[in-house]
Amino acid sequence: MRTRTLAFALLALLLSACPRGGGGGDTTPEGATDDPRPQIRPPMAKRVPHELRTHDHTRVDPYYWMRDDEREDPEILAHLRAEAAYADAIMEPLEGFRRALYEEIVARIPQRDVSVPVQHDGYWYYTRQEEGKEYDIHCRRPADTPEPDPAQTGPIEGEQIVLDENARAEGHDYYAARGVSISVDGKTLAVGEDTLSRRIYTLRFRDLESGDWHDEAIEGTTGQAVWALDHRTVFYVKREEGTLRAYQVWRHVLGTDPSEDALVYEEEDDEFYVSIGRSRSRDFVLIGSFQTISHEYRVVDARQPDSAPRVVLPRERGHEYDVDHAHGRFYIRTNWEARDFRLMSVEPGESADKSAWREEIPAEEGVLLRGFELFEGHLVIAERRGGIARLRVMPWAEGGRPDVAQAHEIAMDEEVYTTHLGANPRFDTDVLRFEYSSMTTPWTTFDYGMGSRERTLKKRQRVEDPDFDPAAYVTTRLMVEARDGVEVPVSIVHRRDLDRSQPQPLLLYGYGSYGYSMDPTFSSPRLSLLDRGVIFAIAHIRGGQEMGRAWYEDGKLLHKRNTFNDFIDCAAHLVESGWTASDKLFAHGGSAGGLLMGAVANMRPDLFHAVVADVPFVDVVTTMLDESIPLTTFEYDEWGNPNEREFYEYMLSYSPYDNVAEQDYPHMLVLTGLHDSQVQYWEPAKWVARLRHRKTDDNQLLFHVNMEAGHGGASGRFRRHEETALIYAFLLDLVGVEE
Provide the annotated active-site residues.
591, 676, 711
Helical axes 95-107 vs 721-734, angle rounded to 10°: 130
What residues contact residue 433 under an 8 Å CB cut-off, 6+ apart?
116, 118, 421, 422, 423, 424, 445, 446, 447, 448, 458
Contact call for residues 286 and 278 (beta carbons, < 8 A):
yes
Task: List the beta bridge partners of residue 390.
Answer: 383
Question: Which amino acid is located at 561 in the chain?
Answer: R
* R_g over Cα of the chain: 26
The phi, psi pair for 644, rounded to 5°, reads -100, 130
Contact call for residues 636 and 644 (beta carbons, < 8 A):
no
What residues contact residue 27 under an 8 Å CB cut-off, 6+ apart?
20, 698
Helical axes 74-91 vs 682-694, angle rounded to 10°: 60
Beta-sheet strands, E only, within 415-495: 418-421, 431-437, 444-449, 455-460, 473-481, 487-495
* d(C-alpha 718, C-alpha 438), whole Å: 23
Residue 256, exposed/middle/buried by CB under 10 A (0-12, 13-18, 19+)? exposed
Contact call for residues 264 and 253 (beta carbons, < 8 A):
no
Contact call for residues 86 and 128 (beta carbons, < 8 A):
no
> What is residue 720's three-state secondary structure?
coil
From the list 475, 435, 479, the residue with the least C-alpha distance to 457 is 435
Which helix (H) or strand (E) is 688 found in, with range? Answer: helix 682-694
Question: Which amino acid is located at 557 in the chain?
Answer: L
* d(C-alpha 284, C-alpha 304), whole Å: 9
Residue by residue, DSSP assigns 616-683 as: ----HHHHHT-TTSTTSGGGHHHH--TTSHHHHHHHHHH-TTTT--SS---EEEEEEETT-SSS-THH
Neighbours of 170 (CB within 10 A): 8
